[in-house]
Amino acid sequence: SSWHKGYSLNTPRARAAPPTGDSVLFEDTSSAAPAMNSQGYYTPGYNMGEPSNDMQGGGGVNNLFTDPMANAAMMYGSSLANQGKDMVNKEISRFMSVNKLKYFFAVDTRYVLKKLMILMFPYTHRDWEVRYHRDTPLTPRQDVNAPDLYIPTMAFITYILLAGMALGIQKRFSPEVLGLCASTALVWVIIEVLVMLLSLYLLTVHSDLSTFDLVAYSGYKYVGMIFTVLCGLLFGSDGYFVALAWSSCALMFFIIRSLKMKILPSLSSDSMGMGSSAKPQLRLYITVASALFQPIIIYWLTSHLVR
């Protein structure tokens, strides 16, 4: 019948099982179920494919609301989901304050573009100070030097997708390898943040670098990695090494200039006249070591993608 033809044209991708065509033959529950499946997403296709049988489609949709059991199940499910959501919110807010996290995601397009340009070409940027407003740092929307977590998160996800694509080009792709690549990169970020926290604690550097700041600065290397992998895929091995050198230098410059403001003591203050002279040296070593770590890890995580 024409109803069947229209149905098969429009729902090859539908998640609803084929038996919807035979809903007249099934019991009430199964005619309610396919209506629920196709309700949110595929309803337009579902309706378009059955012009001559809107009684059936209408009957299927009406069954959802008149069937008391499905109704009750849906309401119970939504109240359960709300309870779960409240509980999760309460537990998460015990570990990290969501407000602090919101600060890192308050970005806009202008900030993202400027920051990406600074990450790739930091040599012309003049003023590296993070501006404050009555003791609270300005949001990334107002200050281009403020660290954010939007760029690192997006860059991380893009890197994973790019890695999958590069592995696919080399015909070495499989979902497990992709998961392995993602968790390896994540573990390196965690290790780097922990080492930085440990060294900052040992040297009693009283800076206002929070954990999220360190995660942000550590995540900026993914932008360099994406650029390097892209050049490696497009231009071969030569392009890979040129892009690696370029993004390494840019990233090292960026990290040193950004962290210098926060870690190293300001040279103009004469507070610690007799302070141990080893301190500024050690702080400088930490900054330089963290900067030198970036090209190493970029090479380590991307060389296998560009043979």
Which residues here bind other proteins, judged by CB under 8 A?
172, 177, 180-181, 183-184, 186-188, 190-191, 201-204, 272, 275-276, 279, 282, 300, 304
Minimal distance, residue 279 CB to other proteins, in Å: 7
Residues linked to residue 132 through DSSP beta bridges, in sequence order:
137
CB atoms under 10 Å from CB of 144, counted, come to 20
Minimal distance, residue 180 CB to other proteins, in Å: 5
In the complex with other proteins, which residue's Cβ is closer, 76 or 300? 300
Residue 137 sits at φ, ψ, to 5 deg, of -70, 150
In the complex with other proteins, which residue's Cβ is closer, 93 or 281? 281
In the complex with other proteins, which residue's Cβ is closer, 36 or 282? 282
Minimal distance, residue 94 CB to other proteins, in Å: 17
Minimal distance, residue 220 CB to other proteins, in Å: 21
In the complex with other proteins, which residue's Cβ is closer, 96 or 187? 187
| 214 Cβ contact partners less than 8 Å away, ≥ 6 residues apart | 193, 196, 197
Output the CA–CA distances (angstroms, integers) from residue 126 to 18, 148, 184, 248, in the order listed. 64, 19, 35, 20
In the complex with other proteins, which residue's Cβ is closer, 33 or 181? 181
Minimal distance, residue 274 CB to other proteins, in Å: 9
Minimal distance, residue 78 CB to other proteins, in Å: 33
Q: What is the CA radius of gyration of the chain?
A: 28
In the complex with other proteins, which residue's Cβ is closer, 80 or 202? 202
